[in-house]
Amino acid sequence: MSPRQSFEHALLLIARLHGGSPAAAQSAREELAIWREQSADHEATYQLAMDAWAGSDLHGLKDRVPRPQPNGAPGKRRAILAALGIAGITTLTGGAGRWWWLQPTEQATLNTERAQTLARRMDDGTQLDLGARTSARVAYFRNRREVYLHSGEIRLQVATDASRPFLVKTAWGQVQVRGTVFTVAVRDNGMSVAVAEGHVAVWAGRSDERRQEFDQRPPDMELRAGDAVMADANGIGTKRPIPVASIASWKDGWLVFDGTSLHEAVSRWNDYLYQPLVLADDTRLHNLQLTGSFPLRDPNAFLSVLPRILPVRISRNDDGTALILAR
């Protein structure tokens, strides 16, 4: 391990000690104690890392982070400073410790258009699958991993990393992962979460609620495989069972509806159609619900069977657009 890598390792442990969860802080404290005892070089590097962390915010951190006293290894400190070089000293000490800690280690902006899906594998092994018309931003940090889902639907197969919790944040709340496969969807009226494997915690709340406020209260609901819930402007909904096979069924070329409002079903179809379906503005259609599985490759099959399931009829406009009317 080079002097720079050793310095960054020490700074990482210090940051987890002072800025992580209680479990992460305890783990970092134990690892740091063992690491410091391994050599005088490690101890001297720890001293420099503490200087950098404590100097990051002279009006805040410095007063709260205990500053270690030299313990007889000034020569080692000078040797490590020399090994880091002038650029290393400027970048990693003299007030840059907290800045370094706050920088993302991996980022991605992911977007899909109508009738388009996207698969992305992150460096930690997490698999992200985006449905059509989805917009998301991914940011990995040294103490957490975050996905900001702006619109659409995303399926996540999350790699376990106890030192970096995984969060999905939306305008309607956030989801914290325990190591699982699940989906989060953002529509006009709220956020829906469905779990295929594992366990997630869900908080309802507006996007202007700070992350710290979410962290300071217990989750509104815990979901396990086969559970789903909706969160909207009124808060968290009622947990409901959902067939695991139906979760992210679009990934396998199907749209599956289970008591889904006709309005939402048409909206989901339109994510995958270049020529959208049109639902008439008729109060008789408002309370209709749809249950069934339909192949994405054949929307006409859906339109042909729909009048047999619900009291509707299909009319074609001159341009070929399908209009769904009450009958």
Closest among 232, 141, 214, 223 to 177, alpha carbons compared: 223
**Higher model confidence: residue 257 or residue 18?**
257
pLDDT at 97: 57
Structure tokens at 11: 């700074």
Ranges of H-type helices in 55-168:
61-64, 74-92, 97-102
**Token representation of residue 238:** 């009622």
User: How far is CA 276 from each of CA 127, 302, 307, rounded to the nearest angstrom?
Assistant: 30, 13, 18
Q: What tokens appear for 54 in the block?
A: 């404590």
56-69: average pLDDT = 41
The arithmetic mean of pLDDT across residues 94-112, rounded, is 76
**Tokens describing residue 264:** 């939402």
pLDDT, tens only, 203-247: 998 655 555 566 678 899 999 999 999 999 889 999 999 999 899
CB-based contacts of 12, cutoff 8 Å, min separation 6: 101, 142
Q: What is the pLDDT of residue 25?
A: 79
Give the residue from 163, 90, 158, 85 showing the smallest Cα distance to 127: 158
Cα(96)–Cα(127) distance, integer angstroms: 33
With cut-offs at 50, 70 and 90, classify the pLDDT of residue 17.
confident
pLDDT tens across 115-132, in order? 999 999 999 999 999 999
State which H helix or E strand residue 110 sits in.
Answer: strand 106-111
pLDDT band at residue 8 using 50, 70 and 90 as cut-offs? confident
pLDDT winner (highest mean) among 5-14, 100-109, 171-180: 171-180
Name the helix (H) or strand (E) containing 203. strand 199-204
Predicted local confidence at residue 213, as pLDDT: 60
Looking at the predicted structure, is the pLDDT value of residue 62 above 50?
Answer: no
Q: What percent of the chain has pLDDT over 70?
A: 79
Confidence of residue 93 (pLDDT cuts 50, 70, 90): very low
Dihedral Cα 195, 196, 200, 203, nearest 10 deg = -10
The pLDDT tens digits for 239-289 are 999 999 899 999 999 999 988 999 999 999 999 999 999 999 999 998 999
At residue 188, the pLDDT reads 76
Helix (H, G, I), strand (E, B) or coil at 319: coil
Amino acid letter for position 96: A
CATH numbers and ranges of domains, the chain: 3-102 (no CATH), 106-244 (2.60.120.1440), 253-326 (3.55.50.30)
**Phi (first) and psi of residue 306, to 5 degrees:** -55, -45
Taking alpha carbons only, the member of 311, 318, 258, 255 closest to residue 282 is 311
Whole-prediction pTM: 0.71
How far is the C-alpha of 3 from the C-alpha of 219, rounded, in Å? 42
Nearest-CA neighbor of 97 among 42, 49, 163, 43?
49
Among 68-77, 130-139, 245-254, 307-316, name the one with the lowest average pLDDT.
68-77
Residue-level pLDDT at 176:
92
Q: Contact at 8 Å (CB) between 140 and 122?
A: yes
What residues contact 195, with CB distance under 8 A and at least 6 apart? 180, 181, 182, 223, 224, 225, 226, 227, 228, 247
Q: What is the structure's pLDDT at 60?
A: 40
Task: Kindly report the average pLDDT of the chain as a whole number.
Answer: 83
- How much is the pLDDT for 89? 43
